[in-house]
A and B are shown apart, each in its own frame.
Chain A
Amino acid sequence: MTVETKLALTEQDVRSYSSAKQEPSWFAEYRVQALLAAENLPMPTPDKTKIDKWNFTNFPVHSVESTPFASIAELPEEVKAIVNNEQKSVYIQRNNTPAFLQISEELLAQGVIFTDIFTAVREHSDLVQKYFMTNGVKSDEHKLASLHAALLNGGVFVYVPKNVELVEPIQVVFLHDDAQASLFNHTIVVADANSSVTYVENYLSTVPESAGLVNIVSEVFAEDNARITYGAVDVLAKGGTTYVNRRGIANRNARIEWALGLMNDGDTISENVTHLVGDASYGDTKMVVVGRGNQKQNFTTKIIHWGKHSEGYILKHGVMKDEASSIFNGIGKIEHGATKSNAVQESRVLMLNEKARGDANPILLIDEDDVTAGHAASVGRVDPLQLYYLMSRGISKQDAERLVIHGFLAPVVNVLPIEGVKKQLTEVIERKVR
């Protein structure tokens, strides 16, 4: 079904979209309430970036129909390039259409749920209701969260039952090959007690420029003793603005590790928050960014310590080329009572030329005495003597810059916890710096 409107949809549009998707009534109501609430909610306020002139509400169409893929063989080359041959469990969403799903024997045998969000809402309604915008991202946080809930038009649901430790990673590709498409994707990854999973998602535009909006939310829940490794490689086209909110909740002795390659070409607001709720929980965010053209971006990474003995680590490196500008906010917050916690962060930004801008903004907010914390941040321009040195060996200026950029990002890329993400990122970086 395609709903055409210049502005955000009406209540009736939302209801009819929901009923066309055969959603349960609680979900339809949730959407409608969120739509009504959106009117009066404020925009989010990413630190140091003014977004009041950014377009987050106008988009050409709410949803487009795309043709599904019958087999891996039918996938476009760009997708084949990132879906490893050995990848057993993979879901591909094409614009707003669930387009391909393959689930391994291992997942099926162990009762893992891995499906598009619409199927999940229909077939696992209770489970979705438990996790959907309740404890993670709430729809009344700000206008974009509520619009997201109202307009949700894609996404994926992963549930790993208790005691199931998955060895094979699960991969999701959100293919964006229709310039008119907007993505309001919602991803939920739940690792129930004592389970573990590696989830990798790719946002990939194969159109050069996009007219649509992206407003995506991921909610990631690691229950007691569970472990989630969450990789994301975002490569969305310039044109439309992107709001991406990836949030994790780690319960007792649980671990959430993020490996994020944020390589969009358009203006992007990215928020990645991990709540270390349980005692001895562990959060680790590793992020690399390459900005180019005249894009503006804001990356907030935040780890909030609630549990005792919780450990939070943030490591991010960004390179700004051309006239790109980026703010890197890193926040370590230790709540009162989170004794013996440790909050560590490091942000480094390299600017390649005069017009590129970067700002690293490390913040520690500590409400407890018995803790350890540390931060390091640096922002600098590429050293012309490094380029001179490399060029004096015959290496062209472009290749010299390429080496310096790869080198600058290597300390993060090399320690990413997912091999596939490492490899993909190296290739994306290569394309972006060429």
Chain B
Amino acid sequence: MSTLVIQDLHVAIDGKEILKGLNLTLNTNEIHAIMGPNGTGKSTLASAIMGHPKYEVTSGSVTLDGEDVLEMEVDERAQAGLFLAMQYPSEITGVTNADFLRSAINSRREEGDEISIMKFIRELDSKMEYLEMDQDMAQRYLNEGFSGGEKKRNEILQLMMLQPKFAILDEIDSGLDIDALKVVSKGINQMRGEGFGCLIITHYQRLLNYITPDHVHVMMQGRVVKSGGPELAHKLEAQGYDWIKEELGIEDETVGQEA
């Protein structure tokens, strides 16, 4: 079993503190959901864990099986087993999806032990089929001209090809119609199990109808303010966030506000 531990994490962007002491522990074989209204720091958390260049960790720690993640370069974090499905994936001209994925897979293997082209194509084909993606997506330039839904599917394709220990999925459900949502959920559910932990960031309960989380956390003002089981998501769906704000005496849930 692997464990990702986030302790008292403070993160600033352009000198402004966004995360203000966040604590969270994830184990493999668990699926956590982080919910919260817009502007509460969810993407900041995801970006800080992965090492986005604009986010500065001012204090606190992130460790993966005891290893200091914050000391690692971005590629080393990925090699260590972290994966982030980004809210806004980059587009890269001239680099085909297939070449990119093969480089990513080979980056985890020794020189001279690269994945065979045949094996790679077989895996890619079968996973694309599973995600109901057009085969020509493999030869298109990475995310260039992809629709919102295609980009999200492509993030899940990468997840399935790379098989990380922990995946953070930042609003993987946003902009998806119901069919695409089902396909994306199918992909995530296939990953579910021993050796895989997942942090699903969303502000809708909708996705959680297809992927039942083991733990649900609510973020406000750059912290986790409430945690519970799947029933917490249902309660949020039925009643919104106001009851939590009342319970905790929060007036404005976004960051930059103090309770």
Chain B residues numbered 109-148 whose CB sits less than 8 Å from any CB in chain A: 141
User: Does any Cβ of A come within 8 Å of B249's Cβ?
Assistant: no
Number of interface residues of A (CB under 8 A): 24
Q: Does A393 contact B (CB under 8 A)?
A: yes
A385 touches B90 (CB 8 A): yes
Q: How far is the CB of A333 from chain B (nearest CB, A)?
A: 30
Q: Are A390 and B92 in touch, CB under 8 angstroms?
A: yes
Known contacts A388-B53, A407-B93, A408-B93: A393-B78 contact under CB 8 Å: yes
B190 to chain A, nearest CB (A): 19
Report yes or no: B94 in contact with A409, Cβ–Cβ below 8 A: yes
Contact of A22 with B by CB under 8 A: no
Chain A: which residue is nearest B162 at the CB level? Answer: A393
A392 touches B50 (CB 8 A): yes
Q: Is B12 close to A, CB under 8 A?
A: no
Q: Is A428 an interface residue (CB 8 A)?
A: no
A389–B92 touching, CB < 8 Å: yes
- Closest CB-CB distance, B239 to chain A, in whole Å? 36
Contacts of A406 in B (CB 8 A): 94-95
> Chain A: which residue is nearest B141 at the CB level?
A407
Interface contact B73-A386, CB-CB below 8 Å: no
Does the CB pair B104–A395 fall under 8 Å?
A: yes
Q: B99 and A403: CB pair below 8 A?
A: yes
- Residue from B53, B79, B92 having most chain A Cβ neighbours under 10 A: B92
Cβ-based interface call for B16 (8 A): no
B80: nearest chain-A partner, CB-CB? A394
Residues of B within 8 A of A410 (CB): 93-95
Whether B186 is near chain A, meaning CB under 8 Å from some CB there, is no
Say how far B163's CB is from chain A's closest CB, in angstroms. 11
Of the four ranges (under 10, 10 to 19, 20 to 34, 35 or more), the interface on chain B belongs to 20 to 34
**Central interface residue in A396, A399, A407, A409, by most chain B CB within 10 Å:** A407
Given contacts A388-B74, A394-B162, A397-B73, contact A407 B94 (CB under 8 A): yes
Cβ of B215 within 8 Å of any chain A Cβ, yes or no, is no
Q: Would you give the shortest CB distance from A261 to chain B, in whole angstroms?
A: 16
* A389 surroundings in chain B (CB, below 8 A): 86, 89-90, 92
A399 contacts B92, C-beta separation under 8 Å: no
Q: How far is the CA of A392 from the CA of B90 in the complex (A)?
A: 11
Chain A 112-150 interface 0/1 with B at a Cβ cutoff of 8 Å (1 = within): 000000000000000000000000000000000000000
Q: Is the C-beta of B103 less than 8 angstroms from some C-beta in chain A?
A: yes
Q: Which of B52, B74, B86, B158 has the most CB of A within 10 A?
A: B74
Contact of A395 among B51, B89, B90, B107 (CB under 8 A): B107
Q: A399's closest neighbor in chain B, by CB?
A: B103
Q: How far is the CA of A385 from the CA of B52 in the complex (A)?
A: 8
State whether A404 touches B73 (Cβ < 8 A).
Answer: no
Complex CA gap A396/B52 in Å reads 15
Whole-angstrom distance between the Cβ of B140 and the nearest chain A Cβ: 12
User: In the docked arrangement, what's the CA distance between A202 and B74, Å?
Assistant: 40
Kindly supply a per-residue 1/0 record for chain B positions 74-89, scoring 1 wherever the CB is within 8 Å of any chain A CB and 0 otherwise: 1101110001101001
Q: Are B162 and A407 in contact (CB under 8 A)?
A: no
Residue pair A394, B78 in contact (C-beta under 8 Å): yes
Q: How far is the CB of A153 from chain B (nearest CB, A)?
A: 40
Find residues 374-427 in chain A having any chain B CB closer than 8 Å to their own CB: 383-386, 388-397, 399-400, 403-404, 406-411
- Complex contact B53–A394 (CB within 8 A): no
One digit per residue, 1 when the CB lies within 8 angstroms of any chain A CB and 0 when it does not, for chain B 154-197 equals 00001000100000000000000000000000000000000000
Give Cα A383–Cα B52 distance, bound, in whole angstroms: 13
Are A386 and B92 CB-contacts (below 8 A) given A392-B78, A396-B107, A403-B100? yes
The answer to whether B52 touches A388, judged by C-beta atoms less than 8 angstroms apart, is: yes
Q: Report which of B77, B89, B93, B107 forms a contact with A399, defined as CB distance below 8 A.
A: B107
CB proximity of A323 to chain B, nearest CB, Å: 22
Residues of A within 8 A of B89 (CB): 389
B245 at interface, CB cutoff 8 A: no
A425 to chain B, nearest CB (A): 13
Known A389-B89, A403-B92, A408-B94; judge A395-B99 contact (CB<8 A). no
Q: Are A390 and B100 in contact (CB under 8 A)?
A: yes
When distances are taken between beta carbons in the complex, the residues of chain B under 8 Å from A404 are 92, 95
B213 to chain A, nearest CB (A): 23
Min C-beta distance of A76 to chain B, whole Å:
27
Are B92 and A394 interface neighbours, CB within 8 A? no
A394 to B93, Cβ gap below 8 A? no
Q: Are A386 and B75 in contact (CB under 8 A)?
A: no
Most buried by B among A390, A393, A395: A393
Whether B75 and A396, one on each chain, are in contact in the complex, defined by CB atoms closer than 8 angstroms, is yes
Contact with A along B6-39 (1 / 0, CB 8 A): 0000000000000000000000000000000000
The CA of A394 and the CA of B73, in the complex, are separated in Å by 10
User: Residues 56-68 of chain A: 1 if any B CB is under 8 Å from the residue's CB, otherwise 0?
Assistant: 0000000000000
Give the interface of B toward A (CB within 8 A).
50-53, 73-75, 77-79, 83-84, 86, 89-90, 92-95, 99-100, 103-104, 107-108, 141, 158, 162
Q: A390-B104, A392-B51, A408-B94 are in contact. List 7 more A-B contacts (CB 8 A).
A: A385-B53, A388-B90, A392-B75, A392-B77, A407-B94, A410-B93, A410-B95
Residues of A within 8 A of B (CB): 383-386, 388-397, 399-400, 403-404, 406-411
Which 6 A-B residue pairs are closest in the complex by CB-CB distance?
A407-B94, A410-B94, A394-B78, A389-B90, A393-B104, A391-B74
